[in-house]
Amino acid sequence: MHIELPLADTTVHLLPEGALWWPDGATLCTADLHLGKAATFRARGLPVPGGTTRGNLDRLSWLFDRYPQARRLVVLGDFLHAAEAHNSGVLCALAEWRARHAELELVLVRGNHDSHAGDPPPWLDARIVDEPWPLGSFACCHHPQRHPERWVLAGHLHPAAVLRGSGRDALRVPCFLSEPGLLVLPAFGEFTGGYTVGRAPGRRLFAVAAGQVWALP
């Protein structure tokens, strides 16, 4: 179950997959995929499981199966995790995914990890841009910031919220973070971690868990 959120002069859908659907622009937005992060850790001698890149790309494909009217994907930074992501396993999975969605317009907003990883290969057929990148009423960014004319869509923070029960139990879940002029998406990548954000004046948090999105009080 998603939440419809009015922004600027339009409406976006906050999706339980941690992505954003903008119907008026036929656009899906994600942030912080960090493709190749597990491969990077293994290349640096840390024994972590594999398969996260294909898992993330499969989740993206599932979104486009769910929203066949989508014509564009905008990634709000940190598409690749590091230079070690340019390895045969990651690139092969990415090539297969791109072939499946060859008609899709792909826009990558450079993030801090992209600066270190380097741009993906030309065969990805992606439009690679720096922040802020204007898209309708929005400014697509990686780092949360304010824009004088547009509502900013951003990533970078990997925001998460802590849910507390009546006892001492607590659960931390990804969330969307909304403030006047700014919407921060949760990290889409499965192997990314999160940064706990709290309540603040003018801030709204939308938790993501168990296939749902809901506004926190």
What is the model's pLDDT at position 158? 96
Question: Looking at residue 131, what DSSP letter applies?
Answer: S
Instruction: Answer for the pair 144, 170: CB distance below 8 angstroms, yes or no.
Output: no
Q: In this structure, what token pair is assigned to residue 201?
A: 């004046």
Across the range 93-122, mean pLDDT stands at: 92
Q: Are strands 105-109 and 126-129 parallel, antiparallel or unpaired?
A: parallel
Across the range 111-127, mean pLDDT stands at: 90
What is the model's pLDDT at position 13? 98
Across the range 131-149, mean pLDDT stands at: 97
Across the range 130-139, mean pLDDT stands at: 97
Beta strand ranges found along the chain (DSSP E) = 3-7, 10-14, 20-22, 27-30, 72-75, 105-109, 126-129, 133-135, 138-140, 151-154, 159-164, 170-179, 182-184, 195-196, 204-209, 212-215
Per-residue pLDDT band at 122 (split at 50, 70, 90): very high
Sequence spans of domains, the chain: 3-154
Per-residue pLDDT band at 23 (split at 50, 70, 90): very high
Q: Are strands 204-209 and 170-179 parallel, antiparallel or unpaired?
A: antiparallel
Question: Which residues are 141's β-sheet partners?
Answer: none
Round to whole Å and give the CA distance between 62 and 66: 6
User: Each residue of 160-207: pLDDT tens digit?
Assistant: 998 887 777 788 899 999 999 999 999 998 767 788 998 899 999 999
Please report where in the chains the tokens 């826009």 appear, as a residue.
107
User: Each residue of 202-215: pLDDT tens digit?
Assistant: 999 999 998 999 99
Q: What global pTM score does this model have?
A: 0.91
